[in-house]
Amino acid sequence: MGYTILQGLRIGASGFHGPYLDRESPYYWPGELPPRDLPGSGIGIDGSWGRGPWNLYGEMQWFQMDYTVIPTFREHGGYLEARRILSPRWYAAARFGALRASAGPGDQVYEAALGFRPGPREIVKFDYMLEQYPGSTAGLDHTVAIQFVTAFRAISGAWN
């Protein structure tokens, strides 16, 4: 669900509860209860704000997957993004995201992007991402990417 508090400011929330596993999953352990008896649940909140050339976006999510033969798995994560329109065709953005779990070290992601709109249904993004794994010997991952995003009309037809 979502609610627009005032023009440019929107908040939302979501949630779920119910079975999340099947017997073919690699995380379904021998001796575990039937999948229908293992509930998973999650909640999330998100928000967006825009004024003039600035836009801010953010989201947080919390998940829990219950087990009986191993400890319950919990995970939470979120991101915060700021975007500025530089001209009708150009924008710059920065994002910070983090993910933490009860199993494993989690990670943090720092990202900076420059976007260009060559046409009404196209975006070319130039992106740099630094991914950090706290508590891990893996250290840092650096990624440089160019991405082309487009939209096209669905193909449709009709016959008599």
By three-state DSSP, how is residue 30 classified?
coil
Vertex 95, ends 118 and 41: CA angle to 5°?
115
Looking at the domain assignment, is residue 48 inside a domain?
yes
Looking at the domain assignment, is residue 94 inside a domain?
yes
Looking at the domain assignment, is residue 17 inside a domain?
yes
Instruction: Say what percent of the chain tops pLDDT 90.
Output: 63
Residue ranges of alpha helices (H) inside the chain are none
Looking at the domain assignment, is residue 155 inside a domain?
no
Specify the pLDDT at position 31.
Answer: 86
The span from the CA of 126 to the CA of 144, in Å, is 8
Looking at the domain assignment, is residue 157 inside a domain?
no
Q: With 90 as the cut, is the pLDDT of residue 58 above it? A: yes
Specify the pLDDT at position 82.
Answer: 98
Residues 113, 93 contacting (CB under 8 angstroms): yes
Instruction: Say what percent of the chain tops pLDDT 70.
Output: 98
- State the chain's mean pLDDT as an integer: 91
The boundaries of the domain holding residue 32 are 2-150
Residues 61, 76 contacting (CB under 8 angstroms): yes
Tell me the per-residue pLDDT of 105-159, one tens digit each, with 9 for 90 and over. Answer: 788 999 999 999 999 899 999 999 999 877 656 678 899 999 999 988 777 777 7
Comparing 140 with 61, the larger pLDDT belongs to 61
Strand bridging mode 2-6 / 9-19: antiparallel
By three-state DSSP, how is residue 35 classified?
helix
Looking at the domain assignment, is residue 74 inside a domain?
yes
The tokens describing 74, both together, are 């919990």
Q: Find the CATH number of the domain harbouring 133.
A: 2.40.160.10
R_g over Cα of the chain: 21
Domain count, the chain: 1
Specify the pLDDT at position 138.
Answer: 63
Q: With 80 as the cut, is the pLDDT of residue 86 above it? A: yes
Looking at the domain assignment, is residue 137 inside a domain?
yes
Looking at the domain assignment, is residue 25 inside a domain?
yes
